[in-house]
A and B are shown apart, each in its own frame.
Chain A
């Protein structure tokens, strides 16, 4: 299972392909399903100049690993990948990728859903928008 925070633009489908080639080579033929969630940064209004993603270095990574471990205990999955942006981000860019590999689709779907839902409700990330007339934290 892999967790990565990055301050650079990433392409989710390239990263899934690379993960399968680099990390899951030995599992080729074992997994029959990969379920993915890709989140893209929205722009809530035309007054937003830039968006910034703050996190809690150390705790954010630990939290995401612990979700991955919980998913692996709860469902019959073979591996998981979570990539999340930090720092400055532009609307339209990928903010998060969650993927779960399994032999069959049901555990892949369920683990993927669990990972993105727990990330959204519990992983320490905060969005801040810079507007023309100040700064606003997203609620």
Chain B
């Protein structure tokens, strides 16, 4: 399956990419995607994530065509 992974703010700079596509034949979760993209670096506990623009958690399952995003704690307002 093909999915889009996005990174925002300080995490984009940490990872060095704003967006990438990954292909996989495995069943994926957000945590597995992080591990794959970040070369097995542990997922920091403060990192937030979204699947298709809705908040998700590390165990959320990902499906074909989904958009996954990882970002740091928010600082709006």
Task: Identify the A interface with B (CB < 8 A).
Answer: 39, 53-56, 58-59, 62, 84, 95-96, 116, 119-128, 137-139
Contact = CB atoms under 8 A, between A and B. Distances in A.
A84 B76 contact: yes
A123 B76 contact: yes
Contact of B77 (A56, A116, A139): A116
A120 B74 CA distance: 7
Interface-central residue, A53, A54, A120, by most chain B CB under 10 Å: A54
Interface residues of B, number: 16
Given A54-B8, A59-B69, A139-B73, A122 B53 contact: no
Interface-central residue, B50, B54, B74, by most chain A CB under 10 Å: B74
Contacts of A127: 75-76
B10 interface: yes
A122 B10 CA distance: 17
A126 B12 CA distance: 12
A116 B55 CA distance: 18
Nearest to A137: B10
